[in-house]
Structure 1
Amino acid sequence: MRELRARWSALAADIEAATPAGRDRAVDALRALAILGVVLGHWLVTSLTVADGGLRGTSPLLHMPWLAPVSWVFQTLAVFFLVGGRVAARGYASARERGISYGAWVGQRLGRLFRPVAAVLVLWTVVAGGMLLGGVEFDTVRTLVRLVLSPLWFLLVFAALTAATPLVARLHPLWPAAVVAGVDLWRFGPGGPEWIGWVNVAAGWLVPFTLGAAWSRGAFARRGRLLLLVAAAAAAACALVLWGGYPASMVGVPGADVSNLDPPTLAVVAFGLAQCGLALLARDRLARLMRRPAAWARVAWVNRSAMTVFLWHQTAMMAVTALGLLLPARLPGLHTAPDSVGWIAVRVLWLPVFAAALGLCWAAFRIHEQDRRSRAGAVTAARRAPGPSAKEITHA
């Protein structure tokens, strides 16, 4: 244990030394918190139970609606889009200053997003085909594949907004918010078409994305403006839930008539604005925390493999669940219905096991998140020592 701590301290010191002086570490910290929030949220509110001879997806939010505040803590996608908007706007502005074409810039940005997706799709195509050929029930295979593929909608929207950065970077966040409000009025009004809600998939996430772009231009330097944003957005979200008929949960609940997330509603947009305001208020404190080499090393490590962690966290959970089925008894918190406080307590105990399985997925598939040059460096580094080098981590 002492040797492991010494190695980690040495790596943290190397990462600190290799980090460019002008890097905004608070941005990396917010991105890491957003990714980890999504992962932990999925692990806590997604459950696979044994029913009718197969696996079925359900959620503790369906059986215990009073758990809705959990979704307020772990539904952190708005913060990810906030950071994405800031990074995209600054990156595109920097590329123009250096004479880099839009095609080259967007190709590099989207390549980092989509390279890891290919590995997920190939593996699950083989696994799903093998399960069907082996006689596994179709509904079970569909449940598992849906859990794997459902996070990809976020990646597609994020990629589209990133590609549209030159067009939307100067857009005021109130404009897409107004579109969301108009769509909800039409959708939930008398005779409103359900399909119109899908307009909010772009408009809803454009709100925090353009907020991040405004942040890149130096907006929100005054804490008073941020406090006003948080107060107004939080009040709007509460009013919409209490008197507007919107669900209290900020994530989808199986079987619910209305989902705040699928597609996004005005309630989740208001909630996301409040969340983004809190994130911006916390940036100075995060920047101070990131001056500690040990804290910064952890954040840099997560950012280096953010897409790998995001894409494989559901697979890790399902792998643990499937292996548990080999035992003669059904395991509480893993295969049992999420309908009691006891299930929650046991589920928390499973989180380290899910994390260990995710670590195995990370070790196997993180190479796909790197470009060719980084892969060549990673292979060379792997011959010297396991894991990425400090330079590779800090230049993610």
Structure 2
Amino acid sequence: MVAATPPGRDRALDALRAFAILGVVLGHWLVTALVVDSGTLNVESPLGHLPEFTPVSWVFQTLAVFFLVGGHVAARGHAAARARGEGHGRWVAARLARLFRPVLPLLGVWLLASAVMLGCGVPWQSLYTLGRLVLSPLWFLLVLAALTAATPLVARVHPLWPLAVVLHVDLIRFGLDGPEWLGWLNLPAGWLVPYCLGALLARRGPLAPAAAWTLLLGGAAATGLLVAFAGYPGSMVGVPGAPVSNLNPPTLAAVTFGLAQSGGAVLLLGPLRRALRRPLAWAAVALLNLCAMTVFLWHQTAMIAVTAGGLLTAGLLGHAPLTGLHTVPDGSAWVLARLGWLPLFAGALLICGAAFHAYERTAYERTGHERTATAHAPKPGPSRKPGPDGRTEARRA
């Protein structure tokens, strides 16, 4: 694996992406509970019952890191494609194929599963709950795809411009009692901030440590002030039943929190590059990145499979609902029990990964690997072939 890694690859960016993926997966597994109520499944969050666990959302809400790395990689990749003479359309098609090809088996499996559940009499409300859990991660792919396609336009936009849009939208929405729909302007603008910051780093080089510390401390201080004095929720993830969500759509607090995360991520680049010189450390990061889309798309399905299996088993055996799996998340016993269920979630995710990881390799990638192998193969020398007049002529192979 080390030998197959290109010398110029920035392993620290792959590590940041891996940390972001783990944050999303563990965050969803920890704050999502499927509870049976009057014969239907509903989503509950421990953050709605146990507000003292709100800091957990600060650790596992890592979307800004995704967009920071995405902007950096896209800007650098697009510049390299232009240098090779590759057209923008072909570059975008290749990147979008990697994003969306793994989605097809997910949709196919869930269409089939939904038909089977309907045939078995599962209520529509339960199907709607499960569908939202499975399909909710796709909004991230749609936003990332749009920003990727617009990379030539947004790569030179300074992050302060989309930040100003978010500030004014929230001022009108919350301060002047503006329409709720206005908040959806923050969906592209809010994630443009870390995306444009990543593109800026790719174009101008790394931030100075003082600038990174300013982002980290300034973003954290701004987020704290917004939560303490401006009425923004303390949770950085959505909580069912809450009047305002920091993510749906993104608020100014979510964006300032993302700036703090971006500053911390930039400060980690140097230590990560040193740590990833070790083959075993790099192997772990590389393996996760090779199946990143599969993990991202199927982690909710893995949790649902374990939950449904436990529900059926408990029903067949006549047991009470299993704590940490089917019960209301309203106490520390639920939290401890949920931690015990995480290995089963991970095992189910490994099964999904083994079944569907092949869809993550696109035809473009296979062609690229073949092209790379050809470029490094020894060039054949001139061959000699008899000419029509009996003499030999040299021809380049």
Question: Normalized against structure 1, the TM-score is what?
Answer: 0.90
TM alignment of 1:144-159, pairs within 5 A: 144-159=130-145
Identity of aligned residues (%): 62
AA aligned to 1:363 is: A
| 1:78-97 map, 5 Å | 78-97=64-83
Please say which of residues 168-177 and 365-374 is displaced more in the overlay. Answer: 365-374
CA contact 1:72–1:249 (8 Å) conserved in 2: yes
Partner of 2:355: 364
Cα distance, 1:22 vs. partner? 1.2
1:227 to 202, 213, 221: 213
**Pairwise CA distance, 1:377:** 12
Distance 1:79 1:377 in 2: 27
- Structure 1 contact 367–375 (Cα < 8 Å) conserved: no
Name the counterpart of 1:5.
Answer: none
Aligned partners of 2:308, 2:150: CA distance in 1, in Å? 40
State the one-letter code of the partner of 2:71. G
Matched residue SS, 2:163:
helix
Contact 1:241 1:247 in 2 (8 A): yes
Partner residue of 2:386? Answer: none
**Structure with the greater alpha carbon radius of gyration:** 2
Q: Deviations over 1:286-322 (max 9, x none)?
A: 1111111111001001111111100000000000000
Asked if 2 retains the 8 angstrom alpha-carbon contact of 1:116 and 1:307, the reply is: yes
Match of 2:383 in 1: none
Cα distance in 1 for partners of 2:200, 2:20 equals 19
CA contact (8 A) 1:54 1:139 kept: yes
Q: Please say if residues 220 and 226 of structure 1, whose CA atoms lie closer than 8 Å, have aligned partners that are also in contact.
A: no
Residue type of the alignment partner of 1:159: A
- In the alignment, the residues of structure 2 paired with residue 260 and residue 373 of structure 1 have an alpha-carbon distance, to the nearest angstrom, of 37
Q: How does 1:279-298 map to 2 (within 5 A)?
A: 279-298=265-284
Partner of 1:180: 166
2:198 paired with 1:207: no
Contact 1:169 / 1:214 at 8 angstroms: preserved in 2?
yes
- The answer for the alignment partner of 1:252 in structure 2 is 238
Deviation at 1:130, TM superposition (A): 1.6
Task: Say whether residues 1:352 and 2:352 are aligned partners.
Answer: no
Kept in 2: contact 1:47–1:335 (CA 8 A): yes
Deviations 1:145-194 (A, max 9, x none): 11000110011001000110000001110100000000001111334100
Contact 1:308-1:369 at 8 Å conserved across structures: yes
Distance in 2, matches of 1:312 and 1:116, equals 10
Q: 1:113 to 1:190 in 2, by over 3 A?
A: same
For 1:336, the equivalent position in structure 2 comes to 327
1:251-282 deviations in whole A, cap 9, x for unaligned? 00000000000000000000000001000001
- RMSD value over aligned CA atoms? 1.5
Which one of 44, 66, 69 corresponds to residue 55 of structure 2? 69
1:323 aligns with 2:303: no
C-alpha distance in 2 between matches for 1:152 and 1:269:
20
2:327 aligns to what SS in structure 1? coil
User: Equivalents in 1 of 2:201, 2:344: separation in Å?
Assistant: 38
Of 157, 162, 172, the residue aligned with 1:171 is: 157
**Which residue of 222, 232, 252 maps to 1:236?**
222
The structure 1 residue matched to 2:147, chosen from 158, 161, 165, is 161
Contact 1:79 1:208 (8 Å CA) reproduced: yes
8 Å Cα contact 2:94-2:364 kept in structure 1: no
Where 2:343 maps in the other structure, the secondary structure is helix
- CA distance in structure 2 between the aligned counterparts of 1:177 and 1:201, rounded to whole angstroms: 12
CA contact (8 A) 2:215 2:262 kept: no
Q: Distance in 1 between matches of 2:67 and 2:187?
A: 13
Alpha-carbon distance in structure 1 between the residues aligned to 2:7 and 2:128? 48
TM-score (norm 2): 0.90
Gaps of 5+ in 2: 374-397
Spell out the pairing of 1:377-396 with structure 2 (5 A cutoff). none
Cα distance in 2, alignment partners of residues 275 and 374 from structure 1: 31
Q: Which 4+ stretches in 1 moved above 4 angstroms? A: 373-378
2: CA distance between counterparts of 1:171 and 1:377? 30
Does the 8 Å CA contact 2:306/2:344 hold for their aligned counterparts?
yes
1:2-30 deviations in Å (ceiling 9; x for gaps):
xxxxxxxxxxxxx1122111110000000
Cα distance, 1:373 vs structure 2: 6.3
SS at structure 2 position matched to 1:217:
helix
What is the distance in 2 between the residues matched to 1:375 and 1:365? 17
- Amino acid corresponding to residue 260 of structure 1 in structure 2: N
**1:40 aligns with one of 26, 37, 56:** 26
Matching residue's letter, 2:286: A
Q: How much does 1:51 deviate?
A: 1.1
Secondary structure, counterpart of 1:56 in structure 2: strand
C-alpha displacement at 1:326, in angstroms?
A: 1.9
Cα pair 1:31 1:80 within 8 Å, conserved: yes
Distance in 1 separating the partners of 2:209 and 2:29: 34
Residue 57 of structure 2 contacts residue 236 of structure 2 at CA under 8 Å; is this kept in 1?
Answer: yes
Q: 1:316 to 1:271 in 2, by over 3 A?
A: same
What is the DSSP-based 3-state SS (H/G/I as helix, E as strand, rest coil) of the residue aligned with 1:16?
coil
